[in-house]
Structure 1
Amino acid sequence: MNRFGIGLVVVWLWMSSAVGGLAAPATPQGESEQKLTSIQALTSVGNSLIYAGSFGHGLFRSEDRGATWARSGQGVTDPFILTLTTGRDGAIYVGTFRGGVFRSRDRGTSWQAINSGLKHLEIKSLLAAGEVLYAGTADGVYQLSAANDRWSVVATGLSDILVHALALSSDGTLFAGTSGKGILRFKAQSTGWVRQQQGLKDHEGMVENFIRVLTIDPEGSLYAGTFDGGVFRSIDAGVTWRAISRALPNDSIRGILFNSRGLFVATGHGIFKTVDKGKQWMPLNKGLTSMSVQVLIESGAGLLYAGTSEGAFRSDDDGQTWRSINQGLEGEESPAPFSLR
């Protein structure tokens, strides 16, 4: 990453992650002439109810596993959705580009802003862990108090640092993936965030400090997906890292998930699966008409959803085949995010 000017890199990273590329392919014959919405975030409640956050067209909800969609954003003042998560109590939380955090307790019928205590309103990641909600923002990591709906800084050390990803280990260690500062961790009762000193070196020896995805598998291994350096794995709580994606054809990582049948990775050019911790990667792209994947989630055994720069897709067979689920997601050209400030 350090072979480019930092300012130019950050702008390029934001644009590529937000819109998935500038060139739009021609509309396939027989499909709607309306522009398909870029889906940046997904979350599910049970087996049938799913929410989709778009970049420029707000929120959508489906009660039939994506077969049909309806708008669901009354009260959400920013149509540029960056992240979604579901709380233990079924509440839905949405993080936006410049409007902060919103919550719905009535299945998406209405939404309320919960931004008290936040310094910046750009919310890149939300993590619901038990009764606690964490937010990765443009000013570090915050925690929401259930008592008064007020945010407070988790710990010192991340002021004015953009946090793209969060993960919580079984021992309570909180990991933050940042833009430019790599990965940091915070342990309860410690004095502040600690940066992982070893760094993530790719197969070319470059240290990757722009982290987009963090997740922890059932065995406790930590995985990091970078903006353009592939996937890394740590088996010692982030002390050391090993690149596992040299055989992966695309290094822009947008999502990582696990189930009993393997490790799935969403990239800037499709979805891939490994069953041997990255030695081999199998493409899972049959039926995907948009390969610029922005988000990947699982909802029930073998049921996967993918959000792309051109709509949403569902797989009922663990990613072997995909079908477009865009009825109700079509829209006009979205406004530029800065034009609405």
Structure 2
Amino acid sequence: MRSLLILLLVLQVHTDLAAQQLRVAVAGIDHGHVGWILGRKDKTDIQLAGVYSADTALAKRYAKRYGFSEDIIYSNLGKMLDAVKPQAVLAFGSIHSHLAVVEACAPRGIHVMVEKPLAVSVAHARKMEALAKQHNIHLLTNYETSWYPSVARSFQLVQDSNYVGQVRKVVIHDGHQGPKEIGCSPEFLAWLTDPVLNGGGALVDFGCYGANLMTHLMKGEKPIAVTAVTRHYKPSVYPKVEDDATIIVDYPEAQCIIQASWNWPFNRKDMEIYGDKGYVMAPDKNNILRRDPSGTVAEKVTATDIPVYEDPFLYLADVVNGKQNPETGLYALQNNLLVVRILEAAKESARTGKKVKL
């Protein structure tokens, strides 16, 4: 009798753990960030149920590298979704493929998280929005900077405590030496440097970070105009797309300068926020420098100091389970629809040499 009770208790624990797990599938594996989910160490809260890739040889290599079963690999997205029935799908293919993923998932009631940016164009973004609303699914966009404690602390100082006063100018730098220079895989480079599959080059790849952060800082306010200049410093390396971009986003009372580049001598993701009372600078993930009339203060912040999800998949799980409101914040659909509008206006400005009004 005692053995039976122990067995029943063990079965109940396993049942409870299974119920708490978020069942996910991966759609596309040719994005360099796919290792974030395939190589994720703690599998008790997220269950990887399926992996879709048209390149089965690549999928099998990844199965060996990351230690998942080849039995969960599918070469047809629809068949995978019907077979494994995930609660959410993580899109790790080209930006152009995001629409197809949502078209497959939304009618099945499956939530979607895509890697930044949301879409290659406003037309794609609007179709994705319509599908998400029609079928009542969450559609989130993941950025690395959304995990940064320094970003969360900067927002707290600016929006909650009014530390800097009225925001007037924001300068955001994102980029690195270049995707080829830092060793991105051939399958990643193939679409990242394609103007159709990626929607552009450095302007899209790194300009989206600044547009996302500024849209949140401005509480979703639409800019009045966007001006952009792109450069092609390395045409022999990136013949099809720009490798450097400067984007100026104008608001009635503020301005954002976004510098996106595949030409920095080092990797950088930093932000400077200037107001009429002070400033906040976030040079990296864990540090900020702030100044107001009382003087300059350097802070080191971690996820234990300020509430921030350092794991985007945990955030997704809490959204699906109703613990987080996805309508606000950096992952939000409305924020990222505006990001795509800013990027599209920037591309048009760079093409015509004129300011584009929104």
Given the two structures, how large is their TM-score scaled by the length of structure 2? 0.27
Greater Rg over alpha carbons, structure: 2
Given the two structures, how large is their TM-score scaled by the length of structure 1? 0.28
Higher relative contact order (CA 8 A, sep 6+): 2
Flag the structure with higher helix content.
Answer: 2
